[in-house]
């Protein structure tokens, strides 16, 4: 090893221990630590900083339980009475009414499932028309077999008026294959089986069980039930999802109401408690709804009043005079604050 190299090695060592052969005592030679060169702050150098991971979207923790709201039965009954006089699209065009009566029950069940799959993000009138088109245009009518036979593009064209029709056409075709292969051509009779089908979420699953199998396993919560449930104070899922609403409603609502509550509130939401501009002023439950506020306005009116006066000859005269009168006008308005916002983090908006 060359001297240069060994000296470089020596320098790089901060402390060296040698043996003093005379005294056999360890001799410690300490050398000053070499200063480390300062790190250049040259702008040409790229400083790599570790990117911090974006914090995950925090989903509010929603309780599954909700205390039975006061007066809910009165509210329910009043809405039911009101709905008898105010027909809504869901009454005639709801998914449970779209299957043909003359076809076998198995086919009816399939038609109900297809109707539900078409109904998400789509108005009842449009869904109903699309189901009619399938029933009359598909060779052999709307059956599992005809869906298996039809080309996906042709199916898509039949249902082109509904929202997300191309995705729904694929879901229906894929679901039909699963029904043929796994369920003997029928629709599943469990929520797990139904929600395992593509494009079928809990709302559709519970409604399909109720309508097609007469099984009451849960409430079908759609946007109307989700919105009105929160407005009425029947649940507190403003920061939650329809599934949270379902669990809270089911925690206190007697089971016999689980099926009728969907068409009741859907229709109410279509004609009275609208998503935007609910008609609180005409609403039969405004006095019990926490989302409605009563505002009192002072209005000034002019009215005529009789006034008795004496004329110059001391004769009594009656005159009509215009006087100002204040009047309280009560108006009922929507207070808001109970409006659920749908968080778009769920797997698929069509899966309700």
Contacts with ligand SF4, residue ranges (CB under 6 A): 231-232, 272-273, 278-280, 283, 285-286, 289, 291-292, 334
Measure CA 263 to chain center. Answer: 17
Question: CA-to-CA distance for 85 and 81, rounded, in angstroms?
Answer: 7
Q: Answer for the pair 169, 156: CB distance below 8 angstroms, yes or no.
A: yes
Please, what is the minimum distance in Å from the beta carbon of residue 275 to ligand SF4? 10
Please, what is the minimum distance in Å from the beta carbon of residue 246 to ligand SF4? 19
**Residue 179 or 261 with smaller CB distance to ligand SF4:** 261
**Residue 334 or 352 with smaller CB distance to ligand SF4:** 334
Please, what is the minimum distance in Å from the beta carbon of residue 50 to ligand SF4? 50
Question: CA-to-CA distance for 228 and 238, rounded, in angstroms?
Answer: 11
Q: Answer for the pair 82, 272: CB distance below 8 angstroms, yes or no.
A: yes
Question: CA-to-CA distance for 273 and 271, rounded, in angstroms?
Answer: 7
Question: CA-to-CA distance for 326 and 324, rounded, in angstroms?
Answer: 7
**Residue 296 or 318 with smaller CB distance to ligand SF4:** 296
CB atoms within 10 A of CB 86: 16
Catalytic residue (choose from 53, 59, 73, 203): 203
Please, what is the minimum distance in Å from the beta carbon of residue 239 to ligand SF4? 18
Question: CA-to-CA distance for 60 and 50, rounded, in angstroms?
Answer: 29
**Residue 122 or 286 with smaller CB distance to ligand SF4:** 286
Q: How far apart are the first and last CA of the chain?
A: 79
Residue 170 a catalytic site member: no
Please, what is the minimum distance in Å from the beta carbon of residue 79 to ligand SF4? 8
**Residue 155 or 264 with smaller CB distance to ligand SF4:** 264
Question: CA-to-CA distance for 181 and 149, rounded, in angstroms?
Answer: 15
Q: Which residues are tagged catalytic? A: 203
């Amino acid at each position: 090893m060359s001297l240069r190299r060994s000296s470089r090695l020596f320098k790089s060592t901060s402390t060296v221990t040698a043996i003093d052969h005379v005294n056999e005592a360890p001799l410690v030679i300490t050398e000053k630590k070499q200063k480390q060169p300062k790190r250049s702050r040259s702008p040409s150098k790229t400083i790599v900083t570790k990117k911090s991971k974006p914090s995950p979207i925090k989903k509010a923790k929603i309780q599954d339980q909700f205390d039975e709201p006061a007066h809910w039965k009165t509210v329910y009954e009043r809405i039911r009475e009101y709905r008898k006089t105010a027909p809504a699209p869901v009454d005639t065009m709801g998914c449970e009414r779209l299957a043909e009566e003359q076809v076998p029950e198995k086919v009816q069940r399939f038609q109900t499932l297809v109707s539900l799959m078409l109904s998400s993000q789509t108005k009842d009138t449009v869904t109903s028309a699309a189901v009619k088109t399938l029933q009359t245009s598909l060779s052999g009518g709307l059956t599992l077999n005809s869906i298996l036979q039809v080309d996906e593009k042709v199916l898509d064209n039949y249902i082109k008026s509904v929202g997300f029709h191309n995705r729904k056409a694929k879901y229906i075709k894929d679901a039909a294959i699963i029904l043929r292969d796994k369920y003997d051509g029928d629709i599943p009779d469990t929520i797990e089986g139904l929600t395992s089908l593509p494009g079928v979420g809990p709302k559709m699953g519970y409604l399909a069980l109720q309508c097609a199998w007469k099984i009451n396993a849960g409430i079908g919560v759609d946007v109307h039930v989700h919105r009105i449930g929160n407005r009425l104070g029947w649940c507190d899922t403003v920061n939650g999802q329809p599934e949270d609403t379902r669990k809270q409603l089911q925690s206190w609502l007697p089971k016999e109401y689980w099926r009728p509550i969907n068409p009741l509130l859907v229709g109410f939401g279509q004609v009275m408690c609208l998503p935007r501009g609910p008609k609180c002023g005409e609403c039969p439950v405004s006095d019990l709804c926490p989302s409605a506020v009563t505002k009192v306005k002072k209005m000034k009116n002019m009215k005529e009043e009789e006034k008795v006066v004496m004329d110059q000859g001391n004769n009594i005269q009656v005159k009509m005079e215009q006087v100002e009168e204040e009047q309280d006008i009560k108006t009922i308005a929507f207070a808001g604050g109970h409006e659920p916002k749908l968080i778009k983090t769920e797997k698929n908006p069509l899966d309700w």
